[in-house]
Amino acid sequence: MADIHCRSGGTDTPDKGCLTMECPAKSAGGEEGTPVIWRQAPKSITNPVWTDYPAVTGPTCLYDPQPENVLANIAARILNDFRQLPVNPGTLQVQPFPHTLKGGPTNFYTTAGEQAFDITILGQAVHFTATPASYTYTFGDGTTLGPTPAAGYAIPEAEWLTTDTRTSHSYTETGNYPATITTNFTGTYSVNNGPPLPINGTLNLTTPAKTIHVWKTERALVADTCQQNPNSWGCPFPKGIR
């Protein structure tokens, strides 16, 4: 909580800078802020003993005619504001791409990462952090993987068609398949450099589809090289022939 008795309450406040803390108005004619000290206590205990929150040293400013209400007002709208942030869903990466082979492992992974945002809510400076928590891979052929905590990873090209990863997928039929990944973000927010608070809700973002072209391979025994017989099976068409 933000202890609003920073200046007037208790004998323990002067040494924290409360008496000298200035919170000037942010605009001409605006209200001055109120110095507060951030404190913490276990939720499960009735009438707990509040102690200083160790991650925040000294007082910070809250700007509201009724500072005791501003945190509750922000908390009431924080999930909606979180879901309006321009969070980057990352990109879906595929190996090999855009062509892969029927029956072979195709490696999928994402570049989504933690992101931070600073906005103003009800006159207060609010810092958001959006963190990827889980991923759902949609492979376009009716199958999915997830939600899973595995973001996947890139593998060397020499291993593309031989290595199964935790996020690989093998297509059973040839065709063109639109693949996407949906990332589930959790979040925290802090008010005026206060302690990070969890956001009660998540944000799901889906990447634009990438079309995977699934091919099959064929094998045959041939007697001649393409130099010996340009019309041999598996050789490029000779010059002038289409």
Tell me the three-class secondary structure of the chain, residue by residue. Answer: CEECCCCCCCCCCHHHCCCCCCCCCCCCCCCCCEEEEEEECCCCCCCCCCEECCCCCCCEEECCCCHHHHHHHHHHHHHHHHHCCCCCCCCEEEECCCEEECCCEEEEEECCCCEEEEEEECCEEEEEEEEEEEEEEECCCCCEEEEECCCCCCCCHHHCCCCCCCCEEECCCCEEEEEEEEEEEEEEEEECCCCCEECCCCEEEECCCEEEEEECCCCCCCCCCCCCCCCCCCCCCCCCCC
The predicted pLDDT at position 1 comes to 77
For the residues 47-68, what does the mean pLDDT come to?
74
Q: Residue 241 pLDDT more than 50?
A: no
| Cα radius of gyration rounded to whole Å, the chain | 29
Higher pLDDT, 47 or 7: 47
d(CA 85, CA 207): 16
The single residue listed with the structure tokens 């004619």 is 29
Higher pLDDT, 85 or 12: 85
Give, rounded to a whole angstrom, the gap between the first and last alpha carbons of the chain.
76
Length of the chain in terms of residues written = 242
pLDDT for 167-209, tens place per residue? 999 999 999 999 999 999 999 999 888 889 999 999 999 999 9
The predicted pLDDT at position 45 comes to 81
pLDDT for 15-41, tens place per residue? 556 777 888 888 888 888 888 888 888
**Amino acid letter, 35:** P
For the residues 105-133, what does the mean pLDDT come to?
94
Average pLDDT, the chain: 86
pLDDT for 60-94, tens place per residue? 888 776 666 778 888 899 999 999 999 999 999 99
The predicted pLDDT at position 23 comes to 86
Q: Residue 242 pLDDT more than 50?
A: no
In this prediction the pTM is: 0.69
The predicted pLDDT at position 65 comes to 60
Sequence-distant (6+) residues with CB within 8 A of 71 are 1, 2, 62, 191
